[in-house]
Structure 1
Amino acid sequence: MDKQELNQRLEKLQLDNQIAIDDIPDIDLYMDQVTQLFEKAYSGSKRNPDDKVLTKTMINNYAKGKLLPPIKNKKYSKDHIMLINLIYQLKGTLSISDIKSMLEQTQSGEKVPLEDLYSTFNEFMETSSTYFKEHVKKLNEDVQASSDSDGDATMDQLLLIGVLSHLSNLYRRLAEQIVDDMSKGQE
């Protein structure tokens, strides 16, 4: 894939979209307001225009699965929104049970303050997005330079898809190992 096309694809991912702590109102929100906040922040990164970023059913399932502290008066606090956003960011890679194990570290008092985790995670999202763009560009160059593809655009795309998928699996497996180790430490 040529550099211009790759840059357009990377731009289309809208990797810089996130909900900063300052973007979360200090007042509690109703569920519709929460879904609107997420839609506004992440709508540009949807794969298909008809996809929903976050639904009421998703939020209810997170609450029922005890990934969120109890909701008071059908309103969601700043902590709820931070947790929902962390779940949103993690659910594409980790299982809900892994996310629950991870987030329990923020809800057990003396461990990890949620706001600290959230703001630092957002900072790392920016850093990792920059790293990701640079790494993908290098992988694309390596694929194009490979002797097996001989300039065949379809072959290059298939190789790039394969390499990206493989890396995604490696990152997921490492994250799962860390979650498992954290869970063992709690026992």
Structure 2
Amino acid sequence: MKKINELIEQIDLDKKILLEDIPNLDLYMDQVIQLFDNKFAKPNSNEKVMTKTMINNYAKAKLLFPIKNKKYTKNHIILISLIYHLKGALSINDIKESLNGLNQRILENNEISIDDIYSSFLHLNELDLEKFKTELQQSGENVSKEIEQIDDESKEYIEKLLLITSFVNMSNLYKNAAEKLVMDMIEKQK
């Protein structure tokens, strides 16, 4: 479906902070904000992607291990990136529960490599992106079949409405699955 291909091209699906984008030296908050704005800001938008308040709230909610001397390490930036990606679907409390084990392992200097975990996240992101494009195409084809018999000026509107509802439905299904995994993590910790 041509419209789905146009949609895929118009939404910036490959925006992410790569490991090589994160400096190996500690950053002040303004530099962290600038890093996120440079990667995720929408063109011609004054909307901030990341703010001081957001980062302070993440720290207060203990989504991040403690910051020292007002500087953010590479590990902090990786955690902030994970939070950024999770916050669109999960509550702050669910994000805290999800990242709690990782924060604890970092604090305990465990043999855990947050770089390796983040690399796996980025790799899975790429795989999910390809799957997403295929699923979008399939949804477009399914909607086209549903509206074949409609032959009036509202066809385009109905097509877009059904695509929106289909996309939101899939989003909700994935969100529910993620929330179930978070609940399983909480139960296991008890």
Match for residue 177 of structure 1 among 172, 175, 180:
180
Q: Give the letter aligned to residue 60 of structure 2.
A: K
The reply on whether 1:42 has 2:40 as its aligned counterpart is yes
Q: Give the letter aligned to residue 38 of structure 1.
A: F
Give the structure 2 partner of residue 104 of structure 1: 100
Deviation beyond 3 Å, 4+ runs, structure 1 = 110-113
Aligned partners of 2:12, 2:139: CA distance in 1, in Å?
Answer: 20
RMSD: 1.8
Aligned partners of 2:82, 2:101: CA distance in 1, in Å?
Answer: 13
In structure 2, list runs of 5 or more residues that go unmatched.
none
* Shift in Å, 1:108: 2.5
Match for residue 93 of structure 1 among 89, 92, 100:
89
- Change in Cα spacing, 1:112 to 1:175, as seen in structure 2 (3 Å) is farther
Q: Is the 8 A contact 1:90 1:99 kept in 2?
A: yes
In structure 1, list runs of 5 or more residues that go unmatched.
none
Q: Is the 8 A contact 1:105 1:112 kept in 2?
A: no
Q: 1:104-156: per-residue Cα shift (whole Å, max 9, x none)?
A: 12122258542222110111111101111111111111101214662611111
Q: 1:41-83: per-residue Cα shift (whole Å, max 9, x none)?
A: 1114x7x822211111100000011111111111100010000
Aligned partners of 2:147, 2:83: CA distance in 1, in Å?
Answer: 42
- TM-score, with length taken from structure 2: 0.90
Aligned residues: 183
Q: Is the 8 A contact 1:27 1:77 kept in 2?
A: yes
Aligned partners of 1:50, 1:146: CA distance in 2, in Å?
Answer: 39
Q: 1:74-104: per-residue Cα shift (whole Å, max 9, x none)?
A: 1100010000000000000000100000101
Identity of aligned residues (%): 45
Aligned partners of 1:176, 1:154: CA distance in 2, in Å?
Answer: 33
Q: Is the 8 A contact 1:29 1:75 kept in 2?
A: yes
Q: 1:162-184: per-residue Cα shift (whole Å, max 9, x none)?
A: 11111111100110000000111
Q: Is the 8 A contact 1:105 1:111 kept in 2?
A: no
